Structure 1
Amino acid sequence: MRVLRRGDVGADVAEIRSLLTAVNMLPPASDTTANDTTHTPGDQQFDAVVEEAVRTFQQHRGLMTDGVVGPATYRALRGASFHLGSRPLAYMMSAQVHGDDVFALQERLTELGYDAGRPDGVFGPRTEAALRNFQRDYGLVIDGICGPGTVRALRQLSPRASGGRPVLLREQEEVRKAGPRLRGKRIVIDPGHGGEDPGIEVHGVREADIAWDLARRLEGRMAATGMDALISRGPDQTPSEADRAAFANEASADMLLSLHCDYNTSPRAQGVASFHFGTGNGTTSTVGELLAGFIQRELVARTDLIDCRTHPRTWELLRLTRCPAVRVEIGYLTNQEDRSRMADPHFRDVVAEGLLVAVKRLYLLGENDQPTGTFTFADVLRHELTKQ
């Protein structure tokens, strides 16, 4: 569908209004258009009320809060209309099924002890494998399809205890098993934008160029530690977020770091923020959240960037990447001070070192660690050469 924003009219807008009403973000059209004096039916107008409802929905779902209905927001709105049992669920390679019903299935399987991965609302091969295991254990037809019989069994078999963070335990155990050394670990470095998409551009400073240069500096440092560092795009390429996630998945990456700068209509906005997968309702990539925290602390301690903290988001790159993924917004190019910092090659060296140290801290899991901001590239190399 086309991108919809305030001022648009038509049947597509009517569908958006209907979806917003279904998730209690918008009252029925008759309640919002009593004073409508135009000749266009009120339920086909994308007005200020609809824009505010879209913003509220986006905020609740960890989407970009811009009040515009693009592909990601439309997909989330459509997915929110489904509940577990409202349709059959199955894994389809060509067009994966997504929605709140898939999310509920993943949560229920996880509570029952089956490894469906972190709940992300996408019916992928890991969810199918967990569902088949459940069907086998409970004497159901093992077809990998969540139909009425499977839904009935899932509802009858309520877990004896709920709560806790089983996904956290699994993800932390994977990090622990990987060991503290960086050597052999595969990381995808994702410089934002690129090619015909420069990203933010202010006074000749382009986000795509900054991200590319920073990615190359980080790649060199990681290669020196023995890591297998891969860059997601070439200098003249502009892959989509889905393509970047697919690149990381096909490479069987251990983690992904996406590098960006930020912007704001106010020139006073400045600082660094990190984002990990999370729905805002407690479901999160726990290792991604942990890595985002390390990155924030290291960069704030090493630079004079303001701490804009870590945040959960359901952006496509974070949602589709199977490994822990973090997007870092390093400074606002619309802020003169931040822009001057990012244009300085020495500053980018400091940022690259901070990112590397944050990754090392993740794998150390608190052992043989040093105070934030004091761990150097030389220290990391020494750790790699020392038996651990």
Structure 2
Amino acid sequence: MPTSLFPTLRRGDSHPVLQVTKSQLARLGLPVGDAESDEFDRTFDSAIREFQQQRGIVCDGVLGPETFSQVELARFRLGDRVLSFDPVRPMRGDDVAELQMRLSRLGMYTERLDFIFGPQTDAAVRDAQQNLGIQPDGIVGPATLHALSGVVRSGSAGTVFALRERVRLTATGASLAGRVFVIEAGTTPRDFTALHLSQEQADAEARISGDIARRVTGRLTALGAAAITADARSDPRLGDELGAAAVVSITQDHSPSPVANGVATYYFGNSVREQGLSPTGRRLSSFIQRELTARTGFTDCRAHAASWDSLSVLRTPKVHVVAGYLSNAEDARRLADDTVRDSMAEAIVVALQRLYLQGEADPETGTLSVTAIAEATGKTHP
């Protein structure tokens, strides 16, 4: 389903493509109403929102390019079609992610579950076929799936990628010194092109998020870390290129409703493929969310798994921080306060430190300070 061929649709619209989309969502068990109708009614609006929530994308009830893309990924279950590597037009879908999961449980696929049958997946398939006594042609048909089903333990959990991420985290000590962190600011124009900000809104986000990011990098540098500040013009893959320990993106949100307010954090993953998420991203997201709400008094909008392109494009653990709503008068007032932005920066750095603390060394939320970290590590906090 080439998403570029279809318009952006919302409740009240009608279009022939809605019949196809309703059929695909009905197959997933979602209540779409009359599947033969091309009307975008209230029932289908609820189904779209539920689907968006399941897939970890923006839950706005709008059937646009991102949602069409996710509908297409969800179109196939493993076994529905024969899978193989096509370097020109790689196959994508939930069936590919399920295949990657099975191969990962066997220790043969060690990358992130990305729903794409790329070179790494092809190599893992051929390795599995060789070990299972099947012709190693890279073609995943009935014979390969039958053989895989016989050796994958149904009770196994997690992936090799997730295991490696955990091991890398616990084996490197508690200090932030020597680690590389990328702190992004004001990336909404780059990461969410469907959200049309005015120049004034984009400038305000860049100014406020940029100030928080500079305060974060200043603290990290004082603790001996290499902290890089990036913005909407920066390469979204910078964290991978630098071998960063983590990427933190800081933005503000905007809503048509002036009531929307609070802080939220997001990490790579979704409720459909929970085992494919980033365990480090989830843990860091939780720490940042807890520290932010404990130190600033902003409404707690919680930590969420999301499969946004800006999160899935990286192998480096990444957390996207939505630090308040500029469209909300009270949030905007707080964000204009230097002390609030300083508290946000403190919260993010403390959360990064908590990520590397183990067991009894992990203090209660809101009690650890950058000054205490600096004193414990022999650094000088500015």
The interval holding the TM-score normalised by the smaller chain is: 0.7 to 0.9
**Residue from 84, 88, 94 that aligns with 1:100:** 94
SS in 1 for 2:108: coil
Structure 1 window deviating more from structure 2 (343-352 vs 73-82): it is 343-352
CA separation of 1:145 and 1:353: change in aligned 2, threshold 3 A: farther
CA separation of 1:346 and 1:92: change in aligned 2, threshold 3 A: farther
Alignment of 1:1-388 (within 5 A): 1=4, 2-25=7-30, 26-30=32-36, 42-43=37-38, 45-90=39-84, 96-159=90-153, 162-166=155-159, 168-191=162-185, 192-193=187-188, 199=197, 206-233=204-231, 237=233, 244=236, 246-281=237-272, 282-283=274-275, 284-366=277-359, 368-385=361-378
- The one-letter code of the counterpart of 2:168 is E
For residues 171-223 of structure 1, give each alpha carbon's deviation from its aligned partner in whole angstroms, at most 9, with x where no partner exists.
Answer: 22110123222223222222222599884889998223222222222222223
What displacement does 1:227 show? 2.3
Separation (CA, whole Å) in 2 of partners of 1:313 and 1:119: 14
Separation (CA, whole Å) in 2 of partners of 1:117 and 1:314: 16
Unaligned 5+ segments in structure 1 are 31-41
CA separation of 1:95 and 1:343: change in aligned 2, threshold 3 A: farther
Separation (CA, whole Å) in 2 of partners of 1:94 and 1:178: 39
Separation (CA, whole Å) in 2 of partners of 1:120 and 1:92: 16
CA separation of 1:94 and 1:186: change in aligned 2, threshold 3 A: farther
CA RMSD between the two structures = 3.0
- The one-letter code of the counterpart of 1:64 is V
CA separation of 1:329 and 1:107: change in aligned 2, threshold 3 A: same
- The one-letter code of the counterpart of 2:147 is A
- The one-letter code of the counterpart of 1:82 is F
Separation (CA, whole Å) in 1 of partners of 2:172 and 2:139: 33
SS in 1 for 2:171: helix
For residues 122-179 of structure 1, give each alpha carbon's deviation from its aligned partner in whole angstroms, at most 9, with x where no partner exists.
Answer: 33454444334323322334444434432232123242x5144455543221101232
What displacement does 1:290 show? 0.6
Unaligned 5+ segments in structure 2 are none
Structure 1 window deviating more from structure 2 (280-289 vs 65-74): it is 280-289
How does the TM-score come out when normalised to structure 1? 0.82
Separation (CA, whole Å) in 2 of partners of 1:214 and 1:94: 42
Separation (CA, whole Å) in 1 of partners of 2:245 and 2:344: 21
SS in 2 for 1:249: helix
CA separation of 1:82 and 1:203: change in aligned 2, threshold 3 A: closer
After TM superposition, the runs of 4+ consecutive aligned structure 1 residues lying more than 4 A away are 90-96, 194-205
Separation (CA, whole Å) in 1 of partners of 2:247 and 2:302: 19
CA separation of 1:180 and 1:145: change in aligned 2, threshold 3 A: farther
CA contact under 8 A between 1:21 and 1:28: conserved in structure 2?
no
Separation (CA, whole Å) in 2 of partners of 1:203 and 1:75: 28
Separation (CA, whole Å) in 1 of partners of 2:220 and 2:80: 47
How does the TM-score come out when normalised to structure 2? 0.83
Overall identity of the aligned pairs, in %: 38
